[in-house]
């Protein structure tokens, strides 16, 4: 937790603080105006951006989210040195959100509204974050090729588990190459690239009074909006493996913010990364190279997840090929 003078910060607000409890990601305040949360932002520009999209989203009609409480001077945040501090209401009774057909459509609409609100800001440039994703993908692919070459030179003549792991490496490299290539596809245009949170998950939703509630994003790692959607679709599909929920979410999203062919290309590029397989294979190789006894259960589990993701990839690729008011592109 960042070191700040809490008493000085709290004096900026109308609430009288009774007790302060440090949590993992914020301070929980008991005040005469109810429980509050105090969040410290390492980047002031991200805090300003977050305030702007929250207010725009509320003006669009969705108010079930954490908004910044204003100070005595009507400011939405406090600047302390090079950091920012915000106060929000703390909700005690937030029920766990379980994706279902009747809520995923609304989730899609809200996420699209959030992305529209974020894209209206000029504080952060989406193209910069896409370039970061492209560089990261290329770097990781290069690292994977070096690791595979090292493994093959050392264990080429091995049998059993080591040979089986080796057989997984070429398909893994092909997936990484495909993902890297798609991230630079010509169908992706700068005007469709907006900044959002790198990963949106089910944990960012709750149920309050029977209504969907959007929560979190107080210390966000940022990326492009298409990664936001890709992460969420992966998350809900691995939970229930119901393609109808995927279509429901995307139908809701596209009702507000239609997806272009380039948007779908980016979605598939992020989903195509064999994240679980690469992570488990890399861990296996590092440990087996120093003669550690390494179980392959993690790799087997990663393969099962990848099979599910492959079904999701095919479904979204088919959806992307539906007739749309754009020029014909090479099939994804």
For the chain, how many structural domains are there in total? 2
Last residue of a domain, one of 41, 57, 92: 92
Q: Do residue 221 and residue 164 come from a single domain?
A: yes
Residues 6+ apart with CB under 8 A from 315: 243, 246
Res 16: pLDDT: 93
Q: What is the dihedral sign for C-alpha 213, 201, 56, 60?
A: negative
Please tell me the total number of residues recorded for the chain in this structure. 332
Q: Do residue 33 and residue 134 come from a single domain?
A: no
In a domain, 193, yes or no: yes
Q: Do residue 38 and residue 118 come from a single domain?
A: no
Q: Do residue 40 and residue 166 come from a single domain?
A: no
Res 271: pLDDT: 94
Side-chain-side CA neighbours of residue 142 (13 Å) = 6
Q: Do residue 169 and residue 272 come from a single domain?
A: yes
Q: Do residue 55 and residue 179 come from a single domain?
A: no
Residue whose token pair is 């937030």 = 94
Per-residue pLDDT of the chain (332 residues; tens, 9 = 90+): 457 888 899 999 999 999 999 998 899 999 999 999 999 999 999 999 999 999 999 999 999 999 999 999 999 999 998 999 999 999 988 998 888 888 999 999 999 999 999 999 888 999 999 999 999 999 999 999 999 999 999 998 888 999 999 999 999 999 999 999 999 999 898 888 999 998 899 999 999 988 999 999 998 899 999 999 999 999 999 998 999 999 999 999 999 999 999 999 999 999 999 999 999 999 999 999 888 777 899 999 999 999 999 999 999 999 998 865 444 556 66
Q: Do residue 160 and residue 22 come from a single domain?
A: no
- Tens digits of residue pLDDT in 15-71: 999 999 999 889 999 999 999 999 999 999 999 999 999 999 999 999 999 999 999
| Structure tokens that stand for 279 in this block | 């992570």
Residue 60 burial (CB < 10 Å; 0-12/13-18/19+)? Answer: middle
**Helices 275-288 and 161-182 sit at what angle, rounded to 10 degrees?**
140
Q: Do residue 151 and residue 225 come from a single domain?
A: yes
For 196, the 3-state DSSP assignment is strand
Q: Do residue 169 and residue 245 come from a single domain?
A: yes
Last residue of a domain, one of 62, 92, 122: 92
The angle subtended at Cα 200 by Cα 239 and Cα 237, nearest 5°, is 20
Q: Do residue 167 and residue 62 come from a single domain?
A: no
Start-end of H helices in the chain: 6-10, 44-59, 101-119, 126-155, 161-182, 225-240, 243-256, 261-272, 275-288, 297-320
Q: Do residue 16 and residue 157 come from a single domain?
A: no
Q: Do residue 250 and residue 132 come from a single domain?
A: yes
Residue 30 lies in domain: 6-92
The angle subtended at Cα 198 by Cα 133 and Cα 4, nearest 5°, is 115
Residue 274: which CATH number?
3.90.1200.10
pTM more than 0.85: yes
Task: In whole angstroms, give the CA distance from residue 238 to residue 241.
Answer: 6
Number of Cβ within 10 Å of residue 238's Cβ equals: 14
Res 324: pLDDT: 57
In a domain, 326, yes or no: no
Res 157: pLDDT: 86
Residue 26: which CATH number?
3.30.200.20
Last residue of a domain, one of 71, 92, 113: 92
In a domain, 329, yes or no: no
Res 5: pLDDT: 87
Bridge partners (DSSP) listed for residue 212: 207
């Amino acid at each position: 937790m960042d070191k700040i003078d809490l008493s000085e910060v709290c004096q900026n607000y109308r609430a009288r603080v009774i007790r302060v409890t440090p949590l993992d990601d914020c301070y929980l305040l008991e005040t005469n105006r109810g429980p509050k949360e105090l969040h410290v932002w390492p980047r002031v520009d991200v805090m300003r951006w977050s305030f702007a999209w929250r207010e725009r989203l509320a003006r669009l009609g969705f108010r079930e989210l954490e908004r910044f409480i204003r100070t005595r001077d009507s400011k939405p945040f406090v600047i302390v040195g090079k950091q920012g501090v915000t106060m929000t209401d703390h909700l005690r009774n937030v029920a766990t959100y379980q994706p279902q057909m009747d809520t995923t459509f609304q989730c899609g609409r809200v996420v699209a509204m959030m992305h529209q609100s974020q894209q209206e800001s000029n504080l952060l440039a989406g193209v910069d974050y896409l370039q970061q994703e492209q560089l990261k993908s290329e770097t990781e692919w290069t690292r994977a090729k070096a690791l595979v070459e090292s493994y093959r030179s050392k264990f080429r003549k091995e049998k059993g588990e080591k040979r089986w792991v080796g057989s997984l490496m070429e398909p893994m490299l092909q997936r990484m190459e495909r993902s890297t290539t798609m991230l630079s596809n010509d169908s992706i245009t700068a005007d469709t690239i907006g900044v959002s949170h790198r990963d949106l998950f089910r944990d960012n939703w709750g149920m309050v009074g029977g209504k969907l509630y959007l929560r979190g994003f107080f210390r966000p790692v940022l990326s492009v909006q298409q990664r936001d959607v890709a992460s969420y679709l992966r998350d809900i599909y691995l939970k229930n493996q119901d393609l109808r929920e995927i279509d429901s979410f995307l139908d809701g999203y596209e009702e507000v913010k239609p997806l272009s062919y380039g948007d779908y290309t980016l979605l598939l590029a992020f989903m195509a990364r064999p994240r679980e397989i690469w992570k488990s294979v890399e861990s296996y190789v590092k440990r087996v190279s120093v003669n550690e006894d390494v179980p392959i259960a993690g790799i087997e589990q990663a393969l099962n997840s990848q099979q599910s993701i492959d079904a999701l990839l095919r479904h979204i690729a088919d959806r992307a090929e539906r007739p749309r008011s754009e020029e014909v592109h090479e099939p994804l």
